[in-house]
A and B are shown apart, each in its own frame.
Chain A
Amino acid sequence: MRKIVGPLLTGLLVVGVAAAIYVSADKQLSQLNKVTVRGLIGSEKLAFFQDPRVIEAFANKGLEVEVKKSGSREIATRHDLNNWDFAFPAGVPAAEKISRENQARKSYQVAFTPMVVASWESIAKILEANGIARMRDNIYYLIDMKKLLEIIEQGKRWTDLPQNESYQARKSILINSTDIRRSNSAAMYLALASYLFNDEAVVENTTQADALVDRLANLFIRQGYTEHSSAVPFNDYLIMGIGKAPMVMAYEAQYLYAASQSQLRGDMRLLYPEPTLYTKHVLVALSEPGEQFGQVLTTDPTLQGLMIEHGWRNSDRAGFDSFIQSRKLQVPASLVNVIEPPSYEVIESMIQTIERDHYGGAH
């Protein structure tokens, strides 16, 4: 027995070692031809970059992509951007700032998605009964944002609304967002509210902004603790449900991706603010490999298709439509009432004032 086991074991070990050498040699060979690109991304795009199909599509183009997620506002204010190949935040304002203040080689308009309110059938019905929301195409709703912000500012609670049998919560009516100091989706909510508070005009300078900033701050302060990136409140929406927050500011893409993954419950509803705005996902290439990466991402049809499968809209309109149809989803064919966000400087100044006056200067 002793004699047999000895050689057998040795044989096993030899095979093991040989296999290890073979595997690592093969890996090294392919890595020789592959370019590794490193970039900073908004958290909402993490699932896309972790999708094995996406990794494979990049590999086919000789790229290995390493990403680190961060709040979009945090990306724009980092000091070490020249150590990265690309920055891929959410929102034009952050991308513009990065382009301007760093040696950006090129920027690419990759995708866009409208801001939505992720909510529930019962909530939509209450809002509808109170003249704040209207149903479209039997499935999604449009919210009159001006009216909604009015009742929010009045400090109304859900129990204060007439014709509300189904959500008897003594909670203030609020839209839950992320932390205004860190994340793009909160900044988009700020942009939207600033437009409505400014008599339906884009805030153009800091004088206009200063006049509105206390009212705007209240939308966030009254929420209490807020999360740093948009993935968290949306996941709370999926898991903790209507009890955690009846209305969550989100990206349409998050909702559509969750729907395509069968993560939604039957009574979840998508509410489109009127007006709304788009979050544009602009890729800023900061190095030569970053540029190569941008080129592949915006031209490779497989990757374009996969972006759509993750819920984003891009230049392939027909592709988006067929994704929606194939998953039996329903979204507005076109959004008419879409506004532009204020410039980066104006948004930044509003956020800084809120930070200084309402959060004691820290973030």
Chain B
Amino acid sequence: MKAYLTLLSVVFSLLLNGCSGPVEQVSILAGSELKDIKPMLDEIKRETGVEIEFHFTGTLDGAETLASGAHYDMGWFSHAKYLSLLEGRANQKFIHGSEKIMLSPVVAGVKKSVADRWGWCDNAQVSWKEFSDKAAQGELTYAMTNPASSNSGFSSTVGVQSALAGGETLQPDMIDNEAMSGFARGHKLTAGSSGWLADKFVAEQHQVDAIFNYESVLIGLNESGQLREPLCLIYPPEGVITADYPLLLLNKAKQQAFSKLIDYFKQQPVQQRLMSETARRPVIPGVALDKRFPDAVVLELPFPGKVETVDQILMTYLDKQRAPSTSIFVLDLSGSMRGDNLQQLKQAMHNLAGGDQSITGKFARFRAREQVIILPFSSQPMASQTYDIESGIGNDPVLQQLRNEINQLVANGGTAIYSALDSAYGLAKTARAQDSDRFYSIALLSDGANTQGLSYGGFRDLYRQNHDDYAGIPTFPIIFGGADKQEMEKLAHLTGGRAFDSTKHSLSQVFKKIRGYQ
């Protein structure tokens, strides 16, 4: 009887769903901010007969994955312009269809009390140039993602660069290094993804005056009830870059499913729902903007037309303009690391030291002006080595030296994670006392539980006692091998960092990802 009823309900749901034929599955490689589409997946399946399997990643990462020929049926990112430029340069065709689904410009959110100081709230004349000037004078600090890892940071950087170039479309020779360095002085909170930057901003909102992000994210922050004061959204008159979220067809055999999804997303009620639930703007003329969006015209800046321009913007930013980083790597050399684990670690460090020639590898490697500190540990912390990177390219002797040292690492002994971490904070504190205009962070790799020295609780107490000296130096623990996942996540939370799971990705990939946050 029960079986009959189940069958009956299946028959009914087939009758009701209005679409004929079996459910078709499609894999979509998507930008991580599109997680907010997940609540719609059941409805999409019901309405279109297409079952979406999302795989999330960053915009640039995704572009590289697709350009290197990975097999996904579709792609969905904040934009496909960089991917399209790569496609052109490689003289290949892997985008077989592209339709914009929704829009969100990258704009500035300035805390109301700060904006009021200069009459910036609801003022359409506040330009990128003024952001740059205020930052250069030390009057404005802000949160922005790393432009090499995340599109919102990239779009903001292009905005300032274009404004400084006088409104012309950026070409490789127009990157104004000095003026841009002034803007970079205000960059105090960084992150590898737009969503995480928003969380970080909420957690440390007393630290900075402003945040650059998608309009949708900023509207979301203002509606979240988590801000101590609202953000004034500013749309600079030189123009902004709007993310247009194209759905991309990659596997020609999925043309029909692609068309069904496009038809679905472009329906008026769906566009309406996307706008109310995700605060992104509609792409069909029939849907009017609701009152959360300003009436004023949003001026659009041109997106660079060549891969070389994009590369030049990023390289100049990383090597010359942004505040340099001091990146401390606390590395487990306990006995359990012996063999494959140690090999993976060496490979990952080699990649950062110039061994990875891929697009993302090029941006993730150690940079000119960066200070890299390696602090190995086993039963106790070992001597640290400091490398002041010079050019960061080719035959930089410091990189060469770093690679040699990494080759010689040997695993042996116990696991004193927190004693090592405490030493790392000591190093960071001393370094920051001498030079505060750098980004300080700690990447922690351990493949097992803490067996010696300070306990987690002991470290936590020390951290709290030294809060003023340690705050703003996040730890990025890597969950690797037999590491204690919960403890690593607590540690990340305590220090304002983020835990990275290396059980699903190679250590090299995880290290690359962490680079976006350093």
Chain A residues in contact with chain B, CB under 8 A? 1-2, 5-6, 9, 12-13, 16, 155, 157, 168-172, 181, 221-226, 228, 232, 235, 238-245, 263, 359-360, 362-363
Contact = CB atoms under 8 A, between A and B. Distances in A.
A169 B237 contact: yes
B239 A171 contact: yes
B299 to A, nearest CB: 5
Interface in B280-299: 282-285, 297-299
Contacts of B169: 172, 221-224
Interface string B300-318: 1111111010000000000
Contacts of A12: 11
Contact of A359 (B4, B81, B103, B306): B306
Interface in B163-212: 163, 166-171
Contacts of B237: 168-170
Given A9-B7, A225-B85, A240 B103 contact: yes
A16 B7 CA distance: 14
A360 B308 contact: yes
Q: How large is the interface on B (under 10, 10 to 19, 20 to 34, 35 or more residues)?
A: 35 or more
B300 A245 contact: yes
Contact of A171 (B5, B167, B305): B167
Majority SS at the chain A contact face: loop
Interface in B210-257: 237-239, 242
B300 A243 contact: yes
B171 A239 contact: no
Contact of A263 (B100, B285, B306, B308): B285
Contact of B8 (A9, A181, A224, A245): A9
Contacts of A242: 297
A172 B285 contact: no
Given A5-B8, A171-B238, A225-B303, 17 more contacts: A9-B7, A12-B11, A170-B163, A171-B299, A171-B301, A223-B169, A224-B304, A224-B305, A225-B84, A225-B85, A225-B302, A228-B84, A238-B285, A239-B285, A243-B297, A263-B285, A359-B88
A6 B4 CA distance: 7
Nearest to B90: A362
Interface in B74-90: 81, 84-85, 88-90
Q: Which 7 A-B pairs have the closest CB atoms?
A: A224-B302, A224-B169, A225-B303, A224-B305, A170-B167, A243-B297, A244-B300
A245 B299 CA distance: 8
Contacts of A235: 100, 283
A12 B14 CA distance: 13
Given A172-B168, A239-B285, A360 B306 contact: yes
A89 to B, nearest CB: 17
A184 B51 CA distance: 36
A360 B308 CA distance: 10
B4 A239 contact: no
Contacts of A222: 168-169
A362 B4 contact: no
